[in-house]
Amino acid sequence: MKFADVILPVPLPGLFTYELPETLAAEAQVGCRVVVPFGAKQTKVGMIARLHEQPPADATMVVKTVKELVDREPILLPTQWQLWQWISDYYLCTIGEVFKAAVPGKLKSLTRPPRGGEDSPSFEDIGLADLPSLSPAQSAALAAIREQWQTHKVCLLHGVTSSGKTEIYTHLIAEAIQRGEQVLYLLPEIVLTTQLTDRLRAVFGDRLGVYHSKFSDKERGAVWQRQLSRQPYDIIVGVRSSIFLPFQRLGLVIVDEEHEVNFKQQEPAPRYNARNVAILMAARAGAHTLLGTATPSFESYYNARMGKYGLVPLTERFGQVQLPAVEIVDVKELRRKRLMQGPFSPQLLEAMQSALSADEQIILFQNRRGYAPQLQCHVCGWVPRCPHCDVPLSLHKRSGRLTCHYCGYSAEVPAQCPACETPDLRGHGFGTERIEDELQRLFPAARVARMDLDTTRTRTAYEQIIDDFAAHRTDILVGTQMVTKGLDFEHVSVVGILSADTMLHQPDFRAFERSFQMMSQVAGRAGRRQRQGRVLLQTMSADLAVIHQVVGNDYQGLYQEQMLERRDFNYPPLSRMVIVYLKHRHVSTIEALARDAAVRLRSIFGSRVLGPDEPPIPRVQSLYIRRLIIKLEPSLPFSRARQYLLQTRSELLAERLYGAATIYFDVDPL
């Protein structure tokens, strides 16, 4: 009798064994999908991971039968299957969770997709368009990258904003294609794909496939099938999930804006870092990796300094345009003198006024969406909070609602304070909506656009905002961290960072690294052609070293200084970190569980365990959260540590008291 061990998209560990009926046994292969019964009366689409003839050891177990074989050819290559196993091991999640994240919905649903691939167009007569030729600095960087690849699998291109990194990538892609290799170009954000795909499509035409989550399941399923065909795309441009696509002859991986936190999936599992997985995937395929950024992550920079990665600096902007001049605006001082106009300093208003008079564009960055981060009763101080999470609700004026940014709960804005019945409820602080209103009031002739989660729910909405700004149909673009990304606009002469303070004072050891990256990146949007741009950096913490490092574009200074602290406290990249998350509905249970988990983990890992503590938002979606942080020396065998972690979790969950608890791990958290 033949059996198939099947991966199912469920968070239970292990594979599920089914019997293969005679009629299917001959055709079934590893990597083919099957329809199987699951639980009392469900059916699921799974994937064959192993074929064998051993009945389950437990003779009392009822083995169910495969209902249908979906594919005659595998839709998963052996390299992909190995990668899935690695992800499940390393990130401490189930193979089913990897399956769920990896395969587009269309391919997991019970409706049969058409067998794709065969009739894809042929590229034989499609040539590559010519590029602009490179500047001497770009050519030197290109040569240096090739040289670094002689001795390193991975090379870090540390090129200032607007140094023309994309043109360098384009040359490397063209070379790889000429060698008959495939290229994966990873981007952190959907917002970047539009501009970038336009640029790359102009060169590579239909050899380029795009893959991201705003695409429909159908489109994503088609890309997957195409990658298995005899005419796969030569280049895939995509966000993190594109590491899961089949590549038959991968030769080059480019990770653009490699420092971006978005490469890490936070929720749900697998909590993988696509940059790191891509590096591994490239190494296994014998391909090279290029990491590019103006502000490297400390992890990558450390690896480069230690000789693990090659390092290529590119210090001048294309066209030798100067980096923007960053001016510090001391908000504390201006507040004292009562010179602030809402969120705007007189300096920023003046800079904006002169930019608008010269018909130049402006980008304003404020890392808060909505109208105001919280609402407060002016008489008794009452603040509406989310009933499910431990946070104040944000006021959204456009939709007329109070919204929780953690769980999505929303409620109508009350007409009066429920505590003291005063009708005087006021919004506190400035979100992007409110800034948009203020701008309309102060500059009635200016055309203002807003880019944040609320205005970019659809792919076309994103594209519209970016197209309008690129074509100068809008004058001022205000937005959240979305506007800090590697966008390339010609007429932006002024960038305003409205408040650096929330990001600087986050309770996170990476707060300064992050703030530097965000501020330098948004500053880099200014003055990209011809003339030097101006950046006004408003802050209450004008004395902090990191502010001056941004002004001087002093990445080295930031790195040297921050690494001292990382060394003192044994933080990454000098250690490997795992966060153990514990969640439960009852506060007494979570506290008992956290204490118990701490004792057990300390008995194994000793003083490498920190906590338990509460995360910044200690209750989300009605679940109380505690966490334990484990910092491991890189020299320790990490596979052993992972076994201990899994074992501790099983022991804890076996205790009746904690039965309904959730325990999960975040490996290499960001």
Minimum gap (Å) between residue 132 Cβ and ligand ADP = 3
Peptide bond preceding 268 in cis form (omega within 30 of 0):
yes
**Residues 420/395, Cβ–Cβ less than 8 Å:** no
CA distance 535 to 522: 9
Residue 111 contacts by C-beta under 8 Å, 6 or more apart in sequence? Answer: none
Quick check: 382 binds Zn ion (CB under 5 A)? yes
Q: Which stretch binds ligand ADP (CB under 6 A): 53-61, 131-139, 360-368, 563-571?
A: 131-139
| Closest approach of ligand ADP to the CB of residue 335, in Å | 35
Going by their DSSP bridges, the two strands 235-238 and 310-314 should be labelled as unpaired
The owner of tokens 């891509």 is: 278
Among positions 140, 420, 453, 660, the unique one binding Zn ion when judged by CB under 5 A: 420
Which residue in 44, 165, 240, 485 binds ligand ADP (CB under 6 A)? 165
How many residues line the site for Zn ion (CB under 5 A)? 15
| 324 lines the binding site for ligand ADP (CB under 6 A) | no
Among 164, 238, 392, 533, binds ligand ADP (CB under 6 A): 164
Instruction: Pick one of ligand ADP, Zn ion, none as the site partner of residue 134 (Cβ within 5 to 8 A by kind).
Output: ligand ADP
Return the residues of window 481-500 that contact ligand ADP according to CB under 6 A: 486, 488
Q: Does 295 bind ligand ADP (CB under 6 A)?
A: no
Site for ligand ADP in 378-417 (CB under 6 A): none
Nearest to ligand ADP of 491, 626 (CB atom): 491
Least separation in angstroms between residue 63's CB and ligand ADP is 55
Neighbours of 125 (CB within 10 A): 5
- Choices 25-33, 298-306, 372-380, 496-504 (CB under 5 A): range interacting with Zn ion: 372-380
Helix ranges restricted to H, 257-392: 274-285, 298-305, 331-336, 346-357
Given candidates 49, 142, 274, 417, which one binds Zn ion under the rule CB under 5 A? Answer: 417
Beta carbons of 172 and 184 less than 8 angstroms apart: no
DSSP 134-161: PPHHHHHHHHHHHHHHHH-SEEEEEE-T
User: 32-35, long-range: CB within 8 Å, 24+ apart, which pairs?
Assistant: 32/69, 32/70, 32/71, 32/72, 32/73, 32/74, 32/75, 33/69, 33/70, 33/71, 33/75, 33/107, 34/4, 34/6, 34/66, 34/67, 34/68, 34/69, 34/70, 35/66, 35/67, 35/68, 35/70, 35/110
Q: 652 contacts which partner out of ligand ADP, Zn ion, none, CB within 5 to 8 A by kind?
A: none
At residue 608, what are phi and psi to the nearest 5 degrees?
-75, -10
C-alpha span between 31 and 449 (Å, rounded): 47
Which segment (97-105, 113-121, 157-165, 656-664) binds ligand ADP by CB under 6 A?
157-165
Asked if residue 162 binds ligand ADP (CB under 6 A), the reply is: yes
Q: Does 469 bind ligand ADP (CB under 6 A)?
A: no
CA atoms of 339 and 481, how far apart (whole Å): 27
**75 close to 651: Cβ distance less than 8 angstroms:** no
Binding piece for ligand ADP, criterion CB under 6 A, among 102-110, 165-173, 234-242, 347-355: 165-173
Q: Applying CB under 6 A, what is the total number of residues that bind ligand ADP?
A: 16
Which does residue 249 touch among Zn ion, ligand ADP, none (CB within 5 to 8 A, set by kind)?
none
Contacts (CB under 6 A) with ligand ADP, residues 558-617: none
Where does this chain bind ligand ADP (CB under 6 A)? Answer: 132, 134-135, 138, 159, 161-167, 318, 486, 488, 528
Interacting residues with Zn ion (CB under 5 A):
377, 379-380, 382, 386, 388-389, 404, 406-407, 409, 417, 419-420, 422
